[in-house]
Amino acid sequence: MEDKQIVELFWQRDEAAVSETEMKYGWFCYSISDHILHNREDAEECVNDTLLTAWNTIPPQKPELFSAFLGKITRRLSLKKLRKLSADKRGGGKPNLAFDELDECISSGQSIDEQLEAGELTRIIDDFLGTLKLSERRVFLRRYWYYDSISEISKRFGFSEGKTKMMLMRTRDKLRVCLSEEDIWV
C-alpha cells in the first residue's frame, strides 16, 4: 500500500492504518529503536508507541514523507526511553558511542538531542549536510541519525572500517569548524 493511502486511512480513523503501517514500516522503526536501545523488548515497545503516536497525531498532521515522520517519532521515543533507563540505572546502561562522538563537536549545558529540538542547531546541521558529498552525508546520517555501528555502515557502503572511521572523523571535524563559525561550539 502506498504511503498516501496509509495516511488517508489514518485521516479516516480506520484502524487498518495501524496494521498497514506496522507491515510496511515496523522493521524500519524497530531497526532505529534497536540501534539506540540495544534491547529487543524495549525496541518493540518503542515501535508500538510509535504506532500509537502516529494514530494520535494523524490527523491533524498530514506527513509528506511518511517514513521520515515515523523514523523521527521512533528516534525521539527511543532516546527518551534511553534517558529514562540511564537515569533509572544511574548510567548502568551501555553508553551511546555516537552521542559521545558528537559531544566532541557540540559543547554546551544542553544535550545534543535538546539542542536539536531547539531548532537552530537543526538548521545549521541541515545546511552543513547540504555541503557534504553524497557518500559523506549518507555515512554521517547512518551513524548519527540511525545509530548504525561502524561495521554496519562499512558493509552497507562497501568501505573498510578504517575508511568509515576516517570519513566520520573528518566529517565531525568539518562540523566542528562549521559550528565554531556559528558560535555553537566553544
CATH number at residue 13: 1.10.1740.10
Q: Cα–Cα–Cα angle for 35, 36, 38, nearest 5°?
A: 65
In a domain, 17, yes or no: yes
Examine the domain organization and report whether 7 and 61 are in the same domain: yes
Q: Each residue of 161-181: pLDDT tens digit? A: 999 999 999 999 999 888 888
Percent pLDDT > 90 in the chain is 60
Question: Per the domain annotation, does 111 fall within a domain?
Answer: yes
CA 15 to chain centre: 27
Which structural domain, as residue segments, surrounds residue 32? Answer: 3-88
Q: Tell me, yes or no, whether 171 and 123 share the same domain.
A: yes
| Domain final residue, candidates 56, 88, 120 | 88
pTM metric for this prediction:
0.69
Unique residue bearing C-alpha cell 548519527: 144
Query: In this predicted structure, what is the pLDDT of residue 86?
Result: 73
- The CA distance from 152 to 161, in Å, is 9
- At 146-166, the pLDDT tens digits run 888 899 999 999 999 999 999
109 and 68 housed in the same domain: no
State pLDDT tens for residues 26-79: 999 999 999 999 899 999 999 999 999 999 999 999 999 999 999 999 999 998
Task: For cell 500509537, name the residue.
Answer: 52
Tally of domains in the chain: 2
pLDDT tens-place string over residues 89-144: 544 444 456 666 666 565 545 555 555 555 677 788 888 999 999 999 999 998 98
The contacts of residue 25 (CB under 8 Å, 6+ apart) are: 66, 67, 70
